[in-house]
Amino acid sequence: RARTRDHMMTFDSRTIDSTGAFMVGELERLDQTMHEPLVDVTWGRDVDLRSDVSIADEISSFSNASFAAAGGASPQGKSWVGKNADAIQGIALDIGKTAQPLTLWANQIGWTIPELESARQSGRPVDALKHSGLILKHNMDTDEQVYIGDEVIGVQGLLNSDKVGATNVNKSWKLATADEMLADVNMILYNAWIASGFAVCPSKLLLPPEQFGLAVTRKVSEAGNISVL
């Protein structure tokens, strides 16, 4: 945009294009469909959100309960007692709290009355499109926060958390056989099962697109007709 000597303004092609007004030739057929950026997020698939947290809260927390009990004749044994026992061991309880600070996220959208009128006349809703861009920005930021966290606020994600052990596979899946790929998956499941004290076995396995494609296309054997997956 440039100003002239008569205090008027001229608009270059980029300025006109950003408002959604285009120069259309006489033999040009402009498709009125608005094509937004092609993008996808998956954070809603892998995490569960708490519905009781609002922007008024500053900290999100949950409680952890731990139990302890001594044995009978042996401190580490079972709590056997006799019929005339009058000194009976009890259960010790410890309740702790795990807190996580809540950091506000904010972005804004704005427009002027002339912009709205121009958008209405050209048939391109600038207000709705800016709102779609705001929702996309929020989803992409949330997606990044869930998986890799953020260094500024010191929060880790699912993929780089120091609370999750990292184990290298024996061989790249590009060169691995079907049995080696299966062994890697079983190792991941078994290690996660051990970490839970054999209380919970993993029910979901997340794979990068490249590894997923290899598992889908790799046959179980040279004579097989089904994939590793």
In a domain, 52, yes or no: no
Tell me the three state secondary structure of residue 214: helix
Could you tell me which of 126, 155, 161, 128 has the C-alpha nearest to residue 141?
155
Residue 25 lies in a domain: no
Range of the domain at 125: 104-164
Give the model's pLDDT for residue 18: 59
Please indicate, yes or no, if residue 34 is contained in any of the structural domains.
Answer: no
pLDDT in tens, 50-99: 999 999 999 999 999 999 888 777 777 788 888 888 888 889 999 999 99
- Contacts of 121-129 with CB under 8 Å at 24 or more apart are 122/20, 122/21, 123/32, 124/20, 124/34, 126/19, 126/20, 129/34, 129/36
194 in the same domain as 220: yes
Residue 14 domain-assigned?
A: no
pTM of the model: 0.77
Q: Is the pLDDT of residue 41 over 50?
A: yes
Q: How many CB atoms lie within 10 A of CB 138?
A: 14
- How does pLDDT run across 73-86, given as a tens digit for each residue? 777 778 888 888 88
For the chain, the domain total comes to: 2
Same domain, 169 and 222: yes
Domain end position, chosen among 138, 164, 190: 164
